[in-house]
């Protein structure tokens, strides 16, 4: 047996609020305002929020720190390579007779190596 919807509604008298609204207390009257730093009503939720915020902040700062270290290492490596290149002795340009002598020695060494190959471990 279902009651009609009209019987559930109580019509207010002239100038009075409906009975349902009068029974509902105001929400802000029972709960005092929270401080600005308390995000949620629950202290547990607020604690979890701040903990996770700290984790995110530490992760971001760590990423920035390691990026900075990588830049510093690349810069130091580049400076070291430039200093090594400047300090390394440059090969001398050989005069024509010296160049011919060098080519003859290179050819002689190649021919000796071809005639007497290194002994293999399998032949020994």
Mean pLDDT within 47-58: 96
φ and ψ of 59, to 5 deg: -60, -45
Mean pLDDT within 113-122: 70
- Is pTM, for the whole model, over 0.85? no
Structure tokens at 72: 């510093």
Contacts of 12 (CB under 8 A, 6+ apart): 18, 19
Q: Supply the pLDDT for residue 100.
A: 86
Of residues 26 and 114, more confidently modeled? 114
% of the chain with per-residue pLDDT over 70: 70
The residue assigned the tokens 């300090």 is 87
Contact 53, 59 (CB under 8 A): no
Rounded to an integer, what distance in angstroms lies between the CA atom of residue 116 and that of residue 78?
44
Mean pLDDT within 102-110: 89
Contact 18, 10 (CB under 8 A): yes
């Amino acid at each position: 047996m279902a009651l009609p919807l009209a019987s559930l509604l109580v019509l207010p008298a002239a100038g009075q609020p409906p009975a349902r609204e009068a029974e509902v207390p105001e929400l802000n009257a029972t709960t005092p305002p929270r401080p600005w730093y308390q995000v949620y009503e629950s202290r547990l939720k607020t604690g979890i929020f701040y903990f996770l915020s700290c984790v995110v902040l530490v992760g971001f700062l760590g990423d920035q720190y390691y990026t900075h270290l990588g830049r510093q290492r690349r810069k130091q490596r580049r400076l070291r390579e430039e200093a090594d290149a400047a300090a390394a002795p440059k090969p001398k340009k050989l005069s024509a007779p010296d160049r011919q002598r060098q080519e003859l020695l290179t050819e002689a060494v190649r021919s000796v190596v071809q005639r007497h190959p290194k002994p293999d471990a399998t032949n020994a």
